[in-house]
A and B are shown apart, each in its own frame.
Chain A
């Protein structure tokens, strides 16, 4: 056996382990989540993109006019997962849903739970439930539930 000191060692993690900056606009969106506020951006045509978009995919203009939307909204479409898989964040039956928040013209992808599939339909009203731990991530909204 060679002397352990002769071996060159380097840690290796099989992952894309880099960090990203949220940038000037999205960082405001993530900061606002800490105050339990959801922000969108308004374009010159009056259309409100939520979650806050950096640019308008139709007019291609940069967006900076922030407006508060939600926390309630309407389900535009959803898929229902009765048996969540290992990578899903919610371990009980839940839906991935496109949710058009009040005051917005576009939808946000998020999760809806604490209900049955039969309770959900396109047009159902839902509201944001906040995570106990705030990390400046989209998951600071833990999930949405049907409005009481």
Chain B
């Protein structure tokens, strides 16, 4: 199978409220930053794919407007996923492996500030049994947190550590939204939003965008001497019937681990799309990352742009490999309630 490499990644500073900046104005700077870095233009891109959520903008086909951020004349080949842009990267990778493209531009964008994210996300779920109850994303996450705590798979102290570490690590991430440090006392004094989760356990409402360029290995060698190859990638989804899932056993992730033979790889760094504090120790344990530096960027707890944060995990892993003497990185992207749909990406820097 043709190998595919990441050759560029750019992230907009994550904003609490982008105000009058519209989606196009959020996307343009990151796309052009990448073009400038690589010395190319849209004419050098064979395939363009974006990830966003029309529910956030509140109109069908709202994502089409995002294309105003890039040059579409002469006509381009493009696609969109109503998902995190990590899945736009997956589609683009397939396009390259099929031989239809040598280069691909991926971008994701999301403005959560104008609406009420909790109720909007409720609308995305099963419209018969679940949406009419208006379960918010925090309450569903809290249901999984309680299962994990009750079964002693994670401990409350690990959730506190995840919050404290995310804030501490935010200093490594110039685009982080939340940089204020927090201590155990402040955490414990915080009011519960949906018990057992308090406000520190939850990601901030965030606006922003990210972009990435990937290329066939051959083409990537024209851009860099040390391409960062997508050595393995796998994604699995569990049932949309949340009550039929075992929330303490991530069957999809476990199948991906086996498929990618991850137990044989010594990872140097990992970035996880962990939106809630309890997901950090849970996935660290599932993915056997106890000795692996994880979420050095702070992760989604310090900035969580909807439809971007998964691509950001891949992008931050790429950046860590690129700027350090590291070889293997693991990135994780997620979608749906209680880690329903997960993607694992093994990145390797070639020497």
Which one of B33-41, B119-127, B155-163 is at the A interface? B119-127
Q: A79-B195, A82-B192 are in contact. Are A109 and B243 (CB under 8 A)?
A: yes
For the complex, would chain A's binding face be called helix, strand, loop or mixed by DSSP majority?
A: mixed
- Which residues of chain B come closer than 8 Å to A82, judged between CB atoms? 192, 195
Number of A-B contacts (CB under 8 A): 106
The reply to whether B142 and A57 contact each other, CB–CB distance below 8 Å, is no
Interchain CB contact under 8 A, A89 and B134: yes
The listed residue with most A CB atoms (<10 A of its CB), out of B143, B145, B196, is B143
A105-128, CB under 8 A of B: which get 1 and which 0?
Answer: 011111100000100001000000
**Residues of chain B contacted by A76 (CB below 8 angstroms):** 147, 243
Measured in the bound complex, the distance between the Cα atoms of B175 and A95 in whole Å is 36
Inter-subunit contact B139/A79 (CB<8 Å): yes
* Cα distance A96–B147 in the bound complex, in angstroms: 13
Q: Does A139 contact B (CB under 8 A)?
A: yes
Complex contact B133–A110 (CB within 8 A): yes
User: Is A9 interfacial (CB 8 A cutoff)?
Assistant: no
Please give me the residue from chain B that is nearest to A111 by CB atom: B133
Interface residue? B13 (CB, 8 A) = no
* B133 and A79 contacting across the interface, CB-CB below 8 Å: no
- Distance of B346 from chain A, by nearest CB (Å): 27
When chains A and B are docked, how far (Å) is the Cα of A106 from the Cα of B276? 25
Cβ A80 vs Cβ B143 within 8 A: no
B118 at the interface (CB under 8 A from A): yes
Q: Are A122 and B150 in contact (CB under 8 A)?
A: yes
Question: Are B196 and A79 in contact (CB-based, < 8 A)?
Answer: yes
| Residues in B neighbouring A87, C-beta threshold 8 A | 116, 118-119, 122, 134, 136
The answer to whether A145 has its CB under 8 Å from any CB of chain B is no
Q: Which residue of B lies closest to A107 (CB)?
A: B243
B122 contact set on A, CB distance < 8 A = 87
| Contact indicator A139/B195 (Cβ below 8 Å) | no
Residues of B within 8 A of A57 (CB): 238-239, 241, 244
Do A108 and B128 touch across chains, with their CB atoms under 8 A apart? no
When the two chains form their complex, are residues A78 and B143 in contact, meaning their CB atoms are under 8 A apart? Answer: yes
**B3 sits at the interface (CB 8 A):** no
Known contacts A57-B239, A80-B194, A106-B241: A85-B133 contact under CB 8 Å: no
A91 on the interface (CB 8 Å rule)?
no
8 Å CB interface, B36-72 against A: 58-60
A16 contacts B144, C-beta separation under 8 Å: no
Q: Flag A12-24 by CB within 8 Å of B: 1 or 0 each.
A: 0010100010100
**Smallest Cβ distance from A21 to chain B, in angstroms?**
10
- Known contacts A16-B123, A89-B134, A96-B133; A106/B244 CB under 8 A: yes
Selected contact of B129 from candidates A85, A99, A109, CB within 8 Å? A109
Give residues 53-110 of A contacting B (CB, 8 Å): 53, 57, 76-82, 85-89, 96-100, 106-110
7 A-B pairs in the complex with CB atoms less than 8 angstroms apart: A81-B195, A87-B118, A96-B133, A96-B140, A108-B243, A109-B130, A117-B195
Using a CB–CB cutoff of 8 Å, the interface residues on chain B facing chain A are: 58-60, 116, 118-119, 122-123, 127-130, 132-136, 138-147, 150, 192-197, 238-239, 241-244, 247
Other CB < 8 Å A-B pairs besides A79-B138, A100-B243, A109-B242, 4 of them?
Answer: A77-B150, A85-B116, A98-B243, A99-B243
